[in-house]
């Protein structure tokens, strides 16, 4: 009689770990055919991460009363970025907060949203920033008449049926009315916004994938028991027997060992951070096991939520869960209350210059947002793949729905880091189009889309991600069909 064989240790079996926990394990050379192992990193499409802020930034132009505003955002000179030059700028320019990443950055001035507001300027900007599409009329909730760039990337590059990760750190739930809406930037189809994931723990569950016992369905009660048991121990602890067997393999390469260790450490870090927030998961019943869904809009913990979402976006890119992730900070507007020099005010009021010291206050918040972005870059920089740093294998973007607090759609902030496997330039501040604010009030006015419309930079992003048109040519026609096609060549390496 044949002896029973020990279960084969494959990537699939490790993923389907004890207790039905689907671990987002990174792609390891050992689990690939020999001829494919050397090409593993090259086969991975570059990841794309996009963070969208609200309320514009302090840059040269005018306020809502058409009073002149100072330049406090862009670097002082186009061309090569260095740590020294950005540090020198830091006293007066918020982009100086990113000086540590000067050699990785590509700062782009001159990108415009081409369509004027049909209602709320914030909503109109949200609807264009990742779609480059025309917008519907709406007093507070304009809709995009096209899909968003994250949908296009996920459709082309994610496993079949896997949506992009789209997160939201704000005050309002989907489906709100009037002014109290999240502000949508991701669109599944024309006029159909994607519902955000508002809880970091829900996002964590989506990536890890709690799926019962891995082969058969379970009742709600059994699911609850599994999840309660899982919470009492680390994911790493639950999978330790299989992980130990995996690490004992003599054919596991040194780079695989390093990447696996880094991946498991990242899981532990996320779990520790999750455990120190004020969000809790009820134990009574599976229907109450909503983790952060219990208080997803609690503004007292928004800072923690923003950073956790960024940790999870980096984790997703490292684990190859999704090739694209988006985070919206704020809602239709960002009405979060910030405190500057002992003065507390809603950000939206600050951006409209309705409070004392509003320019300095807004500048302080701009710096805070860029430090959030720096947190994302810090997290991405902790991951290394067999062919080098993860940050070099994708692009992480920070942008804003509006250019200024006066709802200008010209010179939208656009900062990115990472070359996406050599597609993008690095260490550069470039100007595209006119790269200037038009004169007079720009409240909700469409910017010049003839040369540097947002569709062109989105085409760059799609090309960097390897998205093609029918026939195989790289994508160059995203967004509204009547806009000039092409890319911003100034961005290419």
Quick: pLDDT tens for 5-28.
444 444 444 444 333 344 455 555
| Residue 138 DSSP class | B
**For range 50-58, the mean pLDDT:** 98
Write the burial class of residue 349 (CB in 10 Å: 0-12 exposed, 13-18 middle, 19+ buried).
middle
Structure tokens at 255: 């780079």
Beta strands 105-109; 428-431: pairing state: parallel
Q: Are 25 and 210 in contact (CB under 8 A)?
A: no
More confident residue, 39 or 109: 109
CA distance 226 to 216: 14
Q: Are 265 and 26 in contact (CB under 8 A)?
A: no
Q: What pLDDT, on a 0 to 100 scale, did the predictor assign at position 225?
A: 41
Question: φ, ψ for residue 361 (rounded to 5)?
Answer: -65, -45
More confident residue, 211 or 425: 425
pLDDT in tens, 221-248: 344 344 444 444 555 565 566 667 777 7
Q: What pLDDT, on a 0 to 100 scale, did the predictor assign at position 60?
A: 95
Question: φ, ψ for residue 328 (rounded to 5)?
Answer: -100, 120
Lowest mean pLDDT among 107-111, 164-168, 237-241: 237-241
- How sure is the predictor about 272, in pLDDT bands with cuts at 50, 70 and 90? low
Q: Which domains does the chain have, with CATH numbers?
A: 46-198+297-491 (3.40.720), 209-292 (no CATH)
Q: What pLDDT, on a 0 to 100 scale, did the predictor assign at position 268?
A: 63
41 pLDDT higher than 60? no
Structure tokens at 123: 């909503």
Q: What pLDDT, on a 0 to 100 scale, did the predictor assign at position 45?
A: 84
Strand partners of residue 49: 325, 396
Chain CA centroid to CA 68, Å: 33
CA distance 223 to 66: 59
333 pLDDT higher than 70? yes
- How sure is the predictor about 209, in pLDDT bands with cuts at 50, 70 and 90? low
CB atoms within 10 A of CB 303: 13
Q: What pLDDT, on a 0 to 100 scale, did the predictor assign at position 56?
A: 98
Model pTM above 0.85? no
Chain CA centroid to CA 163, Å: 14
Q: What pLDDT, on a 0 to 100 scale, did the predictor assign at position 179?
A: 83
Average pLDDT value over all residues in the chain: 83
Residues written for the chain: 493
């Amino acid at each position: 009689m044949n002896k029973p064989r020990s279960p084969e240790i494959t990537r699939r079996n490790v993923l389907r770990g004890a207790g039905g926990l689907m671990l987002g394990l990174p792609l390891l050379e050992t689990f690939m055919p020999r001829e494919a192992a050397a090409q593993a990193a090259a086969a991975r499409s570059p990841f794309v991460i996009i963070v969208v802020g609200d309320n514009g930034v302090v840059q040269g132009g005018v306020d809502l009363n058409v009073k002149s505003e100072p330049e406090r955002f862009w670097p002082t000179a186009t061309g090569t970025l260095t740590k020294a030059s950005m540090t020198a700028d830091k006293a007066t320019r918020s982009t100086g907060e990113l000086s540590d990443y000067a050699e990785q950055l590509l700062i782009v001035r001159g990108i415009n949203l081409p369509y004027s507001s049909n209602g709320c300027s914030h909503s109109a900007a949200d609807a264009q920033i990742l779609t480059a599409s025309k917008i519907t009329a709406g007093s507070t909730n304009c809709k995009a008449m096209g899909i968003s760039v994250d949908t296009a990337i996920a459709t082309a590059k994610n496993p079949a049926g896997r949506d992009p990760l789209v997160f939201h750190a704000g005050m309002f739930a989907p489906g709100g009315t009037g002014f109290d809406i999240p502000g949508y930037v991701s669109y599944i189809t024309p006029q159909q916004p994607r519902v955000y994931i508002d809880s970091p723990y829900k996002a964590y569950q989506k990536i890890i994938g709690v799926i019962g016992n891995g082969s058969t369905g379970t009742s709600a009660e059994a699911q609850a028991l599994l999840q309660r048991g899982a919470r009492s121990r680390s994911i790493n602890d639950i999978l330790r027997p299989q992980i130990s067997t995996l690490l004992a393999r003599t054919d596991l390469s040194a780079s695989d060992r390093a990447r696996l260790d880094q991946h498991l450490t990242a899981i532990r870090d996320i779990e520790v951070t999750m455990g120190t927030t004020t969000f809790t998961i009820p134990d009574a019943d599976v229907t109450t096991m909503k983790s952060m869904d219990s208080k997803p809009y609690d503004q007292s913990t928004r800072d923690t939520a923003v950073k956790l979402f960024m940790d999870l976006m980096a984790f997703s890119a490292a684990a190859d869960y999704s090739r694209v992730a988006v985070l919206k900070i704020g809602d239709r507007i960002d009405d979060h209350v910030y405190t500057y020099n002992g003065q507390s005010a809603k950000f939206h009021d600050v951006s409209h210059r309705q409070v004392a010291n509003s320019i300095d206050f807004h500048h302080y918040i701009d710096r805070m947002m860029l430090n959030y972005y720096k947190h994302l870059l810090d997290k991405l920089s902790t991951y290394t793949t067999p062919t080098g740093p993860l940050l070099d294998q994708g692009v992480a973007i920070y942008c804003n729905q509006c250019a200024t607090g006066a709802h200008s759609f010209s010179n939208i902030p656009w900062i990115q880091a990472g070359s996406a496997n050599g597609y993008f330039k690095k260490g550069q501040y470039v100007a595209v189009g006119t790269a200037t604010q038009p004169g007079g009030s720009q409240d909700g006015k469409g910017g010049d889309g003839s040369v540097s419309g947002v569709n062109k930079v989105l085409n760059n992003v799609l090309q960097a991600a390897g998205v093609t048109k029918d026939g195989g040519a790289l994508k160059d026609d995203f967004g509204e069909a009547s806009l000039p096609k092409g890319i911003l060549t100034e961005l290419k390496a």
